[in-house]
Chain A
Amino acid sequence: MSPIEKHRGGSETMSELQTHAAEIAAQFSDHLDVSEAEVEEKLDNLVTQYKVPIDEARRSVTNSYLNEAGLDREEISAGGTEEVLVNDIDEDEQWVDITAKVVDLWEPGSDAISQVGLLGDESGTIKFVSFSTSELPLLEEGSVYRLGNVVTDEYQGRYSVKLNRTTTITELEEDIEVGDNAIEVEGAMVDIQSGSGLIKRCPEEGCTRVLQNGRCSEHGNVDGEFDLRIKAVLDDGAEVHEVIFNRERTEELTGIELEEAKSMAMDALDTSVVADEMRGALLGRYYRITGPTLGRYVLADEFERLGAPTDHEDTLIKARSI
């Protein structure tokens, strides 16, 4: 490494250290008398002398102050918490603020938990837990709150938020229309999969499985009930999404209603004519679809057929400038 590079690298680390030091000092400002300079010195010692990565150094210094102040990690704010939408939470151990409505309250499974339930904002819903030790006021179902300083948690890919002793709770007068964790996908419809069109479902109570050749995988041969469905693949050239249209959405999308589909099948003595008709009408066209996700599927709530592009001028200008 040349001396110049070394120097540049060094100064970068210094300013980065200063930022970390300022953040740590701010976190403890209510609890301890710590100066930024002191924090920076500790960080610098670990990073420069002991070659500890900055993240680890930060963790170590933070822990030493936690011990000194007799605090738990949850009791200090991570500094500069951010207001987020619940459906945008995709990382655990983040300190965030949310504004949400209490959609549902469940029976706590243990005495350690004061409240557990579901919070919702326009983006969707998320589970929340409030612990007895935090001694927070109880939230009421149907009310909207601004919750400052909650911490995110993750379990098997699902996110939740934990309220804690530092959480601020402000009840708001407003109402929130709670969203359904919808996502928006766009692309060409490149396939309509088998099991689309006019299908038969198992009539057994609570089953609704789609029959294969008149057989339900659970209940054997049954007299099925007709339904309409489309399982489509949307592809934008970079990603594929599988989308399911239920009967209502299928009818809206294709203009073919269940009764009409049944008579089409009756005339042709074959249910597959319905799916074939739909393929001809839908494949190779572009759509924008919004809806909640279920496993790897997007359940179509709203859809829009996309026609001529509106952005080709922008693309051209951008491309010319490369």
Chain B
Amino acid sequence: MSAQDESVPTREVARRVFAREFNDASYTFKESDDDRAPLYLLLPTGERANRVFVVGTLTETEDVGEDSEYWRGRIVDPTGTFFVYAGQYQPEAASTLRELESPAYVSIVGKPRTYETDDGTVNVSLRPESITEVDDGTRDRWVTETAQRTLERIDHADDEANEYGRMAAEQYELDLESYKTMALSALESLDEEADADADTDTDTDTDASPPESM
């Protein structure tokens, strides 16, 4: 399940990225000519991602394989949908997708993969290293953490020393402001859920939430 190279100290960090930003990414690159050098997906907010960690709602699974099983899962977060594909080379993940009943909250550790469709658009998907069913607390923590990490990236996107920020500016038509809005909406969506859960409490409190202009 875990590859041997993961025991070396230079293990790649699992980036936190929302579905919308993940799907907006299309540019991949390597840092060296070595065949086995890690492949990175360039995130629009200016970071390289060889691995990501995602928590969301598994809404649908389908075996899209022709000769052998090849499972596709749709994982929804507050901003969009991740597509996950697992086949014979990811047996544990494939069997998890086969067995899970949607909807369910799931955590996925995986590698970004891109493929170009016939009309030239680049689709981004996730090749899972592991998929596990989790609870709503884990999902809410991920949303908060991912919003924090996204905002930090936006904050440092224009830093002099941030070569991936520069690379993103060259590769993508960037609107960093829209990713900031996205991260804020994701955080606000947690509030709305909490308010909905707590609607037996005093209603006036929810109306007193701080205005947008804060």
Contacts and interface: CB of A to CB of B under 8 A. Distances in A.
A191 B13 contact: no
A284 B141 CA distance: 11
B140 A309 contact: yes
Contact of A309 (B11, B53, B141): B141
A312 B190 CA distance: 8
A312 B53 contact: no
Nearest to B4: A194
B43 to A, nearest CB: 12
Most buried by A among B4, B141, B180: B141
Given A308-B141, A317-B210, A322-B151, A191 B108 contact: no
Contacts of B118: none
B180 A319 contact: yes
Contacts, number: 119
B137 A316 contact: no
A237 B16 contact: yes
A36 interface: no
A92 B210 CA distance: 48
Interface residues of A, number: 35
B13 A193 contact: no
A78 interface: no
B198 to A, nearest CB: 13
Contacts of A283: 107, 109, 130, 132
Given A235-B14, A286-B138, A319 B130 contact: no
Interface string B119-149: 0000000000111101111101111111111
A307 B141 contact: yes
Given A237-B16, A308-B140, A312-B140, A191 B187 contact: no
B94 interface: no
Contact of B184 (A236, A308, A316): A316
Contact of B183 (A190, A238, A319): A319
A235 B51 CA distance: 11
Interface in B1-18: 1-2, 4, 6-7, 9, 11, 13-16
Contact of B138 (A233, A235, A307): A307
A319 B147 contact: yes
Interface in A277-294: 279-280, 283-286
Question: Nearest 6 pairs between A and B by C-beta?
Answer: A284-B107, A307-B137, A308-B137, A309-B144, A312-B144, A237-B16
Given A235-B13, A237-B16, A238-B149, 13 more contacts: A190-B14, A190-B53, A191-B129, A193-B2, A235-B14, A237-B145, A239-B13, A279-B92, A284-B130, A285-B134, A315-B144, A315-B148, A322-B180
